[in-house]
A and B are shown apart, each in its own frame.
Chain A
Amino acid sequence: MSLVLTEEQELLRDTAREFVREQAPVAALRKLRDAEDPIGFSRELWSEMANLGWSGIIFPEEYGGAGLGYAELGVVMEELGRTLVANPMMSTVLLAGNAIALGGNETQKKDVLPSVCSGERLLAFAHQEGSRHQPYRVTTTAERDTDGYRISGEKTFVLDGHIADQLVVVARTSGELRDREGLTLFLVDVNADGISRTRTSMVDSRGYANIKLTNVSVERSAIVGDVDLGANVVDVVLDRATAALSAEMLGGFTEAFERTLTYLQTRVQFGAPIGSFQALKHRAAIMFCEIELSRSIVLDTLRAIDEDRDDVPSRVSTAKARCSDSYHLIGNEAVQMHGGIGVTDEEEIGFFLKRARVSQQTLGDAAYHRRRFASLRGF
């Protein structure tokens, strides 16, 4: 598959770009933050995104989706990243929704996916524990009882966990702490007894929660996929969500760079635009190269998923490591090159730095993905 966008993809990009510029500029995120919005994003905006087909973009048409590929999804994610749009694509569509779409049975898919595609139902993926992404390090347990299972444990950094209608919980049904085997996925209603949710306020102003499960009782029908073999679903879900997140990050640092470039061309000191100084020129040129490399790997990773290639896992880790490093570099350089104004809350560039840090950490930072890459390649 070519790395050049098709005409249809270009059209999708133009539509998305116009939509986010008009409906959800960075100022919209600031407004949500300042109002301490209990949801963390605009439900109306999410409905409109659903009407555009984005909430169901990767799901089959029979479940109300658009049946498009990751190449198309990536185009949308990149534009969402450009203006830092707060939205539940990651939580509801790419993580929990994908877990149902890829691991769920027909009943679960028919129950969940149409209302996800319509924008009505919100989901969250309750997976991480502790302070970092370690996919198989799961202490939350699901123990057999007469009718089903009882789940207990503490989940952290659950994207949109505070407002989701249902959770996909990753729990351990057998095995030791870091074993790949022994994980099982459960679809759990948030109103079930024994669930307590605490929203955490984080630097990127998006919605996250810590979720405590105490003897939460679920029936066998809540199992998504096969008992003990949850990692087969988790691995694929994480790869796809990480590819999509990388596309979002690409949009974010491309925008932060372009804003910085404009500043370099217009800010005058010593009687000259500061962009004429070689100390800044070279750093800008290096950032440009990093962005070009990032764009190439993101485009190819999305296409690898669409083509169902064997190298998806190592491409995904390459993309996430590269985009994490690029966003880190550009987020920091953008603030530095904006000078004093860059560290004020009034200037929007700081929002990019904040999002950079959170997205770097989400689904594994660069070091995590380098370790994973090394293991995948057998060294």
Chain B
Amino acid sequence: MSDLEAFREEARAWLESNGPTSMHLPIPESEVVWGGRQEAFSNPDSRVWLERVSEQGWTVPTWPKEYGGAGLSKAEERVLTEEWRRARCRPALMSFGISMLGPVLLEYASEEQKREHLPKIARGEIRWCQGYSEPDFGSDLAGLQTKAVLVDDEYVVNGQKIWTSYADKSDWIFCLVRTDPAASKHDGISFLLFDMASPGVSVAPIQLISGSSPFSQTFFEDVRVPKANLVGTLNGGWTIAKRLLQHERAMISQMGLGLAGSSNQSIDALAKEYVGTENGQIEDSILRDRIAQHMMDNECYGTSLRRSMEEAKAGQGPGAASSMFKFYGTELNKQRYELLVSVLGTQGLGWEGEGFSEHELKTTREWLRSKGNSIEGGTSEIQLNIIAKRVLGLPD
């Protein structure tokens, strides 16, 4: 038996004996664990589950053991993912610390910073938010104006961020700040970490068209940050910022696969139910064609993600692939919700209350929420700019 197969058996056995049935899929949104100081563990079993999984190092399986991971290879991680899916276990922890910040800390942070922050991310003790966009600097992110000035041994931060995901629920922020106003815009940015409980930090949630408030405006007034919280070099933050965006895009790219979503039923099954059938076919032939097209596109997209992983393993592949997947995946997700709302008809347009099922109301809200997918993490237009420049070599 190969080492990989031995690992598979080990993982399978562990999941079977340690994964409580209450921690099987599906997972209601109210029971998703994001960790951090405010985490209430609405289902108490999820606390036990998180403790067990993080004890194994499996919230971040490929991170080194000294930082809270399990030191698994990519191949072992794939096996673990497969077994996780097979056992129908819930993810123990959702976290921007895991998907975005951790990978760049591993690459750019000092040893001391890694030992300080990575284990807390792995165990879900600290929840992180992202201080990137500003009111006047969205797509033109590198123009950001939030300032950090070194006074004695502390940076004094002043300015405003916007679209900070879950700022009101987060403990710490990774934040882009301008440390050299005289330098060209890409060369005067630094990457700072600080506690959201610091004096001078305030947060105002923003209500979206979907009715939810996942984003906030975040204000900094003379926030004092220890000098040691600078990651990488002073004024060298843009490189880290871009790398983190690649991780963010990779995370968002997964959304196109229809993994997110309100219903376990596929679009075609819903269409048969809501639109009706004639000789086993969806009665509306144009809708049938659009659903087929969407499903095919989705499958081509999934196959492309697989090819990209295989090429990366073989040392090939386009460097700006994350932009392609971000662009295509989010456009597909929007299209998916447009189709779902078409399928549900007037039942897909309810806002709240009686007359609509829970899943219909959820679909409506998610349809509206999906409009942000092609804006957050860099708009579709920005992704197309990146592809044109970095992959196709078209001139500025």
Contacts and interface: CB of A to CB of B under 8 A. Distances in A.
Interface in B253-280: 268-269, 271-272, 277, 280
Contacts of B384: 281-282, 285-286
B167 interface: no
Interface of B is mostly: helix
Contact of A3 (B291, B306, B385, B394): B306
A3 B303 contact: yes
A296 to B, nearest CB: 4
A300 B303 contact: yes
Interface residues of A, number: 39
B388 A285 contact: yes
Nearest to A379: B268
B228 to A, nearest CB: 41
Nearest to B268: A379
> Chain A: interface secondary structure?
helix
A275 B310 contact: no
A278 interface: yes
B183 interface: no
Interface string B292-325: 1101110111011011001100101000000010
A285 B280 contact: no
B352 to A, nearest CB: 31
Contacts of A272: 395
Contacts of B306: 3, 296
Contacts of B49: none
Contacts of A317: 296
A299 interface: yes
B324 A284 contact: no
B343 to A, nearest CB: 11
Contacts of B385: 278, 281-282, 285
A371 B394 contact: no
Nearest to B388: A281
A295 B303 CA distance: 10
* Residue with the greatest number of chain A CB neighbours at <10 A, chosen from B311, B314, B394: B394
Contacts of A278: 385
Contacts of A19: none
Given A265-B394, A275-B394, A286-B384, A370 B301 contact: no
Contacts of B387: 285, 288-289
A373 B296 contact: yes
Interface stretch (B115-123, B208-216, B238-246, B281-289): B281-289
Given A293-B304, A318-B300, 9 more contacts: A2-B314, A264-B394, A265-B395, A284-B394, A286-B384, A294-B300, A317-B296, A377-B268, A379-B291
Closest 5 A/B residue pairs (Cβ): A281-B388, A285-B387, A379-B268, A370-B292, A285-B384
